[in-house]
Amino acid sequence: MTIEISDKTYDEEFVKKVEEISGENFHKCMQCGMCSGGCPMIEYMDIPPRRIMILTHFGLKDKVISSKTAWICATCNACSVRCPRGVELTKVMEAIRQLTLRKNINYVEPSAISEETIADLPQIALVSCFRKHTS
Ligand code: SF4
Ligand code: SF4
């Protein structure tokens, strides 16, 4: 992935918001890849957690917000435990989701799920999904 940075692409407000909501200093990330290496969901993500950290550091809001990575994240905390710089990526992923959810935009629209699918899925999984993916 090529990262192009300029005054036009750096979104300072986005960086400050992620800092504020997550309470994390993701600028400490040294791009070692330990987080991505231990992520059980990585095969379903379009951008690995390591890259999400550098894209967020550089304020590339559009790339981060349009990625499905934060939504796929299972909040398992494996990345945070492995990070040698003590970055709690789980909190950063939550902050990225919140930037969308706080605009009253649902990532998963409950009314669009068919009755058959709802009947097939474990109720606990549905509740968990709605908590994380709806505003
Ligand atoms: S918390 Fe999310 S990003 Fe981190 S290892 Fe688990 S699934 Fe991957
Ligand atoms: S494990 Fe920590 S330092 Fe390494 S790439 Fe991931 S966030 Fe950055």
> Cα(65)–Cα(55) distance, rounded to whole angstroms?
10
Is residue 86 over pLDDT 90?
yes
By alpha-carbon position, which residue is closest to atom 5 of ligand 2?
A: 31
Is 72 found in the same domain as 54?
Answer: yes
Task: Report pLDDT digits (tens) over 42-78.
Answer: 999 999 999 999 999 999 999 999 999 999 999 999 9
Ligand 2 atom nearest residue 79's Cα: 1
Q: How many other β-carbons are positioned within 10 Å of the β-carbon of residue 23?
A: 11
Ligand 1 atom nearest residue 78's Cα: 5
Is residue 8 over pLDDT 90?
no
Query: Containing domain of residue 29, as a range?
Result: 12-103
Return the CATH number at 38.
1.10.1060.10
- Which listed ligand is nearest to 24 at the C-alpha? 2
Distance from the CA of 81 to the center of ligand 2, in angstroms? 10
Is 122 found in the same domain as 64?
Answer: no
Closest C-alpha to 45, from 77, 71, 22, 11: 71
Q: Is residue 4 part of a domain?
A: no
pLDDT for the residue numbered 9 = 83
Is 77 found in the same domain as 37?
Answer: yes
Is residue 126 over pLDDT 70?
yes
Q: Is residue 5 part of a domain?
A: no
Is residue 4 over pLDDT 70?
no
User: What phi and psi values does residue 21 have, to the nearest 5 degrees?
Assistant: -70, -40
How far the first Cα of the chain sits from its last, in Å, is 31
